[in-house]
Amino acid sequence: MKFIHLTDTHVVGGGQRLYGGDPASMLGRAVASINAEHGDAAFVAITGDLTHWGEAEAYAAFAAEIAKLTMPVHLLVGNHDVTEAFVQTFPDAPRDPNGFVQSTLDTEVGRCLFLDTHVPGTHEGAYCETRRNWLADELAKTSGPVFLFMHHPPFSVGLAGMDTIMLQEAETFYDVIAPHKDRIRHLFFGHLHRAVFGNWRGISFSCMRAVNHQVALTLDPSKTDVLGNRETPAYGVVLADADQVVVHMHDFTQVDTSYPLSAPKGEDKRAYALAFDPI
Ligand SMILES: [Fe+2]
């Protein structure tokens, strides 16, 4: 099964720019790329920060772009979102009985759990007892494979400025998932605006670059300012089956720059490689 992991679209309303970019336009390019290159994907999961300021017109602009997707989309909220405005634009988006933007999706490769780590008024993430109880119940309903999706990572990654706004009280979150750890196939998250891959206590994870602006790789623990940069946007293409989970990061704005690595038939391989210049 193939699915797409897109994150941190940070759309603003009224065609405004954000850090020099046009988030709605870039989301449109991502949507066009997904439809054209991965139209066989089962779904797209967007792991939060759908808008930058959380205004109604930003959600409207976001909705207009994702409406063009040719496959189902599953939406999460992040620290830049405003749940009330999100719900007004997406009244049919699934939520848990307490109103949190949390839902489950059963697929041929396992149960996807879309979690809500948003708390109003802060960029930090939270996963309160109410949400933990919902997650515990959902995990208990199945004994099969599970895929977790959330906005905030429940661990630090060495980016001091971002680590301070990770999921707070992460150990209480871990306590809920720990009994099920062996069947959690992968954890997908956003928030970091960087490509980050690894393993947390035995759980593999990945984070994709954002759509409009990225976060610089600043690994000095004394540098707590979060710096942006102009690394290219990307989304994840996930291939999952009973044996493995493969995550490809796709720099979707770079597709037109591809060129053959093999020499044309009859030409000398070395001469071709030495002489070819894609620029
Ligand atoms: Fe973000």
Q: Which domains, from first to last, does the chain contain?
A: 2-275 (3.60.21.10)
DSSP codes of every residue in 109-171: TEEEEE-----TT-SSB---HHHHHHHHHHHHT--S-EEEEESS-SS--S-HHHHTTSBTTHH
Residue 148 has pLDDT above 80, yes or no: yes
Mean pLDDT, residues 141-164: 97
Residue 127 has pLDDT above 80, yes or no: yes
Question: Measured in angstroms, how far is the CA atom of residue 107 from the centroid of ligand 1?
Answer: 27
Give per-residue pLDDT as tens, 187-202. 999 999 999 999 999 9
Go through the chain and tell me how many residues it has.
Answer: 279
Question: Measured in angstroms, how far is the CA atom of residue 80 from the centroid of ligand 1?
Answer: 7
Give per-residue pLDDT as tens, 65-114. 999 999 999 999 999 999 999 999 999 999 999 999 999 999 999 999 99
Give per-residue pLDDT as tens, 11-40. 999 989 999 999 999 999 999 999 999 999
Q: What does the pLDDT read at residue 173? A: 98
3-state secondary structure (DSSP) of residue 49: coil
* Lookup: tokens for 25: 């336009």
- As beta bridge partners, residue 105 has 112
Distances (CA, A) of 222 to 159, 161, 218, 226: 10, 9, 10, 12
Q: What does the pLDDT read at residue 242? A: 96
Question: Positive or negative, the Cα torsion across 219, 220, 224, 225?
Answer: negative
Taking the C-alpha atoms of residue 175 and residue 139, their distance in angstroms, rounded to an integer, is 12
Question: Mean pLDDT across the chain, nearest whole number?
Answer: 97
Taking the C-alpha atoms of residue 159 and residue 182, their distance in angstroms, rounded to an integer, is 28
Q: What does the pLDDT read at residue 223? A: 94
CB atoms within 5 A of ion ligand 1 belong to 8, 49
Q: What does the pLDDT read at residue 21? A: 96
Mean pLDDT, residues 110-119: 98
Question: Measured in angstroms, how far is the CA atom of residue 94 from the centroid of ligand 1?
Answer: 22
Q: What does the pLDDT read at residue 257? A: 79
- On whether the pTM is more than 0.95, the answer is yes
Percent of the chain clearing pLDDT 70 (strictly above): 100
Which run of H or E residues covers position 4?
A: strand 2-6
Q: What does the pLDDT read at residue 18? A: 97
Question: Measured in angstroms, how far is the CA atom of residue 136 from the centroid of ligand 1?
Answer: 27
Residue 258 has pLDDT above 90, yes or no: no
Kind of pairing, strands 44-47 and 2-6?
Answer: parallel
Question: Measured in angstroms, how far is the CA atom of residue 69 from the centroid of ligand 1?
Answer: 21
Question: Measured in angstroms, how far is the CA atom of residue 85 from the centroid of ligand 1?
Answer: 17
Mean pLDDT, residues 130-150: 97
278: pLDDT confidence band, cut at 50, 70 and 90?
Answer: confident
Question: Measured in angstroms, how far is the CA atom of residue 190 from the centroid of ligand 1?
Answer: 7
Q: What does the pLDDT read at residue 20? A: 95
* Lookup: tokens for 88: 């007004």
Q: How far apart are the first and last CA of the chain?
A: 36
The Cβ of residue 219 has, within 10 Å, a number of other Cβ atoms equal to 10
* Lookup: tokens for 126: 């939270």
Mean pLDDT, residues 144-152: 98
Give per-residue pLDDT as tens, 205-221. 999 999 999 999 999 99
Q: What does the pLDDT read at residue 279? A: 75
Taking the C-alpha atoms of residue 212 and residue 62, their distance in angstroms, rounded to an integer, is 13
Residue 153 has pLDDT above 90, yes or no: yes
Sequence-ordered list of residues with C-beta below 8 angstroms from that of 7, at least 6 positions apart, any chain: 46, 47, 48, 49, 151, 189, 190, 191, 207, 208, 210, 211, 235
Sequence-ordered list of residues with C-beta below 8 angstroms from that of 125, at least 6 positions apart, any chain: 79, 117, 118, 119, 150, 151, 152, 154, 165, 166, 167, 168, 191
Q: What does the pLDDT read at residue 255? A: 84
